[in-house]
């Protein structure tokens, strides 16, 4: 146990490695989050928050490990209901270069969206790709043969950036 605790206290662990180590410590030695926190000299909440990262889809975990996004971004994205939604959120965060606070707000607005009629996977993917590329929310309705794409913006600056990206 001592070797595992020493390994967890290394400064060069990425957040996913740390979470896996914590999980191993808790599982192998039957510790509670509180007991693990005591042995590591940490706060129980930080242990629980770290372990939440293991609930992220593989793409989000990889982005955290490579420092493409922070652990704070990852904890926000874990709140999304499905791995597909987490991947979509990851594309939005990277495409818009959102801060952690902006990511939290986006996740909150995503969760509040009314459940619309299901659109085809092809249209949903198109909307996600456009959203990541343009940096604004995109909604889609209809079907592949006929439908509607809507671009949403929240400020004059966002509109200007959108016009620039579209070449308008």
Predicted model pTM: 0.63
Are 86 and 77 contacting, i.e. CB atoms less than 8 angstroms apart? yes
Q: What is the pLDDT of residue 89?
A: 94
Q: What is the pLDDT of residue 100?
A: 96
**In the Cβ-directed half-sphere of 109, how many Cα atoms lie within 13 Å?**
11
Are 87 and 57 contacting, i.e. CB atoms less than 8 angstroms apart? yes
Say if residue 25's pLDDT is above 90: no
Q: What is the pLDDT of residue 134?
A: 82
Q: For 79-90, how does the pLDDT look when each residue is reduced to its tens digit (9 = 90+)? A: 998 898 999 999
Sorting pLDDT into bands at 50, 70 and 90, what band is 112?
low
3-class DSSP state for residue 10?
A: coil
Say if residue 39's pLDDT is above 90: no
Q: What is the pLDDT of residue 109?
A: 82
CATH 1.10.10.2830 fits 2-54, yes or no: yes
Report the alpha-carbon angle 154-82-124, nearest 5. 55
Domain boundaries defined on the chain: 2-54, 69-113, 119-168
| Mean model confidence pLDDT for the chain | 85
């Amino acid at each position: 146990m001592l070797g595992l605790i020493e390994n967890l206290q290394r400064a060069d662990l990425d957040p996913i490695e740390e979470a896996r180590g914590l999980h191993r410590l808790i599982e192998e030695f039957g510790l509670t989050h509180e007991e693990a926190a005591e042995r590591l000299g940490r706060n129980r909440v930080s242990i629980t928050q770290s372990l939440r990262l293991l609930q992220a889809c593989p793409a989000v975990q990889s982005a955290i490990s490579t420092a493409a996004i922070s652990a704070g971004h990852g904890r926000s994205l874990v709140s999304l209901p499905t791995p597909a939604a987490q991947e979509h959120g990851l594309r939005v965060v990277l495409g818009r270069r959102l801060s952690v606070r902006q990511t939290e707000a986006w996740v909150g607005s995503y969760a509040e969206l009314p459940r619309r009629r299901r659109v085809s996977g092809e249209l949903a993917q198109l909307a996600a790709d456009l959203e990541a590329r343009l940096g604004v929310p995109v909604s889609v309705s209809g079907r592949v043969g006929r439908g509607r794409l809507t671009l949403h913006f929240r400020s004059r600056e966002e509109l200007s950036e959108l016009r620039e990206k579209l070449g308008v």
